[in-house]
Amino acid sequence: MKRSIGFAAALLSGVLSASAAQAQSGVEKLYVLNCGEGVAGDISRWSPGVNEGKSMDFSDNCYLIKHAQGWFLWDTGIADAVAAMPDGLAPADPKAVTWHRPKTLASQLEQIGVKPSDIKGMAVSHTHPDHIGNVEMFPTTMLYVQKAEYDWPGANNQPRFKKEHPVTLLEGDRDVFGDGSVTILSTPGHTPGHQSLLVKLPKTGEIVLSGDAVHFKSNWDNRGVPGNNFNKDETLASMQKIADTLTKDKAQLWINHDKAQRDTLKMAPEFYD
């Protein structure tokens, strides 16, 4: 008798937890945040020998995702401090991008009504400064990063992240919420542990946020690999992995730095659902 009550209780709790899990499944919204705007001095830097001397506008996006289990931030952009620099942040190499911050990340989160401490998880595509500028605005948020990126020595052998920042080190793809709605895709090459994000939205459908696996559309169409790049073969293989994902999941490709594409997107506080 005792055993059958126990069994019924186990069965009931199993049913309850299954329905609770169902209610907590899925992405609800995705916001595109302005995390920088810039001008590249010479775009042949991203496709050697092509368009030499040609300047181009660049965008820099962050993406805030509302999942039933909590908020998730993808990339953190140019440091908010750049918003106070009237001439922007000039690069050491004049061919690279001079960045401006027309809006801070903090002000855009505030407008949506999200506090940094509300954000449960975050990931950055890679550790170049236009993507990690505000990681420490979220000192308690779990950071998902590839081990290869985390262990990659920075300038003067400095670590890429603060040791005390909570971190989950990845070695490959990761289904962040366990329901297939937000998946980190390992796409190395631009840097040792570069990663991209596959997001499944209820109405908009599937989107790949490609970080800097590719920098703008003509480089995607022509498989252009930048000069400043860690491993060309890995970069090409990662572009193919993204192309296969677009086909398999009928996903859209959103290229972070492609200003022309960004101009077609709804920006926060508007959102995609």
Which residues contribute to the site for Zn ion (CB under 5 A)?
130, 212
Which CB sits closer to Zn ion, 61 or 69? 61
Which CB sits closer to Zn ion, 80 or 130? 130
168 φ, ψ (degrees, to nearest 5): -120, 115
Contact 134, 79 (CB under 8 A): yes
Which CB sits closer to Zn ion, 36 or 121? 36
In the complex, what is the shortest distance from the CB of residue 7 to Zn ion, in angstroms, rounded to a whole number? 56
In the complex, what is the shortest distance from the CB of residue 40 to Zn ion, in angstroms, rounded to a whole number? 11
Which CB sits closer to Zn ion, 46 or 144? 46
In the complex, what is the shortest distance from the CB of residue 103 to Zn ion, in angstroms, rounded to a whole number? 18
In the complex, what is the shortest distance from the CB of residue 199 to Zn ion, in angstroms, rounded to a whole number? 19
| Residue whose C-alpha is closest to residue 97's, from 178, 180, 212, 191 | 212
Token duo for residue 142 = 């779990």
In the complex, what is the shortest distance from the CB of residue 131 to Zn ion, in angstroms, rounded to a whole number? 6
Which CB sits closer to Zn ion, 132 or 182? 132
Which CB sits closer to Zn ion, 27 or 89? 89
| Residue whose C-alpha is closest to residue 257's, from 72, 35, 76, 25 | 35
In the complex, what is the shortest distance from the CB of residue 196 to Zn ion, in angstroms, rounded to a whole number? 13
